[in-house]
Structure 1
């Protein structure tokens, strides 16, 4: 898709504008990345990969829970999200995986294996990262992953692969489509409104809609059984979590994910929609912390 600036994108990300924004910033090979490395300095690092639209603020509740339990966290906004650059590039797994690899390297976090968490689209990125940097991953946690639905001939991402049609659709209805998507992510209307405000605030920066819809063009969110299967064969200790009322990546795919990933532990969070780390951070931490701690104790006898 050819780069464009959509109506309503009235702000630019510059060195000056970032001075007033939350978080830290680092120049990587593809552009500036927005990140936060926080928590106990002696804690094991949990690296988080987010979904299609979310900035790093999405993780705040879970980050607080993990800090209170002794873990350090690295969150970042993928390119095109949050306050990371809107790069004029192909938004695919290669780009997002390279971003995570360069970020951890530049921050000096490669000496000890990380605990990797991926949710929704970020689960696909996390699995790709795990395959490429197997020795750098101590544990892998997958939450409500995309990728297990079957491709449909009339699905929106297929229509968007036509550049001319994509340009027309995104300019006319892109923001509205995203708002409708965000409304289905969580059960609680109050949290839904909070999520929508969080994401829409970052979509005011030039190139945001281009980034999201170019991702839909180039990062397949369906028919990814082989990626799950290959991940399951890596031998990385894996935790699988899912919300029982997830309507975006329905929990009907839970058994398929279990069969392909072969996780050491799995858990369904009750009364929870698609965004468990955002909706139910304490419940996610209750599952994640003992899983991570058990692995850490084996590394440090």
Structure 2
């Protein structure tokens, strides 16, 4: 799909613009990445991979919970999201996994295995990352993952396969589709409004809608059973978390995910929608912290 600038994208991500923005920035091979590294330097490192539209601020409350309990956290905005570059490249899991791998390497964080968390589309990115270097991943936490719905003729990557059609839909109805998607993510309307404001603020930068629609073209979010199965065969200790009222990746896929991932640790979070790390950060931390600690104790013993 040809790169485009949509209506309402009235800002550009330049070096000068970034001087006024929060967070840290680093120039990687595909572009500038917006990231935050927080928490005690001697704590086990938790790296988080986010979903289709979210900036790194999505993780703030969960990172705060994990930092308070002794864990170090690394969050970043995937290319095309937050304040990371809108790149003219194929937006797929290979791009996003490479971004995470380069970021951890450039920051000198590869000395010991890390703990990887992926939510929604980010779960597919996390699984791709883990497959590239299983020894680098101590634990894997998957939250409300995309990928287990059956691939149909109406699947986004099929509908948007034609570049002209994809560009037309993105330009004409992209922002409307985006807002509709965000409205289904969070159970609590107040949190939903907060999430929408957070995402749309970053979508004022040129190339944001292009990045989302190019991702929908090239990163299939259905029919990915093989990726789950391959991840389960890696032998990485896996924790599976899911909101009981997830309207985006329904809980009906929970048992399939648990079986394919061979996840011995799993938990359903009550009164929670699709974005558990954002909606229920304390409850998610309650699951991640002992899971990580148990693995660390086994490695140290």
TM-score (norm 2): 0.99
Conserved 8 A contact 2:156-2:217 = no
The residue number in structure 2 matching 1:192 is 192
Structure 1 distance, partners of 2:171, 2:45, is 40
Partner of 1:201: 201
CA distance in structure 2 between the partners assigned to 1:68 and 1:209 by the alignment: 35
Cα distance in 2 for residues equivalent to 1:4 and 1:209: 8
- What is the Cα deviation at residue 41 of structure 1? 1.1
Deviation at 1:300, TM superposition (A): 1.8
Q: Which residue of 2 is the match for residue 49 of structure 1?
A: 49
Q: Secondary structure at 2:220's aligned position in 1?
A: coil
Distance in 2 (CA, whole Å) between partners of 1:235 and 1:157 is 30
Q: Which runs of 4+ in 1 moved over 3 A?
A: none
Q: Does residue 172 of the first structure (1) align with residue 196 of the second (2)?
A: no
Structure 2 CA distance for aligned equivalents of residues 114 and 267 of structure 1: 21
Distance in 2 (CA, whole Å) between partners of 1:261 and 1:97 is 19
The equivalent residue for 2:92 is 92
Check conservation: 2:161, 2:217, Cα contact below 8 A: yes
The answer to whether the Cα contact below 8 Å between 2:46 and 2:72 also exists between their aligned partners in 1 is yes
Unpaired runs of at least 5, structure 2 = none
Task: Give the 3-state SS of the residue equivalent to 2:116 in structure 1.
Answer: strand
SS at 1:191's partner residue? helix
Residue 234 of structure 1 aligns to a residue whose secondary structure is coil
Query: Offset at 1:298?
Result: 1.4
| Cα distance between partner residues in 2 of 1:26 and 1:87 | 14
Q: Which residue of 2 is the match for residue 273 of structure 1?
A: 273
Contact 2:140 2:238 in 1 (8 A): yes
Taking structure 1 as the reference length, the TM-score comes to 0.99
Describe the superposition over 1:89-124 as per-residue Cα deviations: whole angstroms up to 9, x where unpaired.
000011001000000000001110000000000000
Match of 1:76 in 2: 76
Counterpart for residue 135 of structure 1: 135
Shift of 1:161: 1.1
Provide, for residues 45-73 of structure 1, a one-character-per-residue CA deviation record: whole Å limited to 9, x for no partner: 00000000000000011001001100000
Write the distance in 2 (CA, Å) between the matches of 1:90 and 1:153.
22
**Distance in 2 (alpha carbons) for counterparts of 1:230 and 1:156:** 24
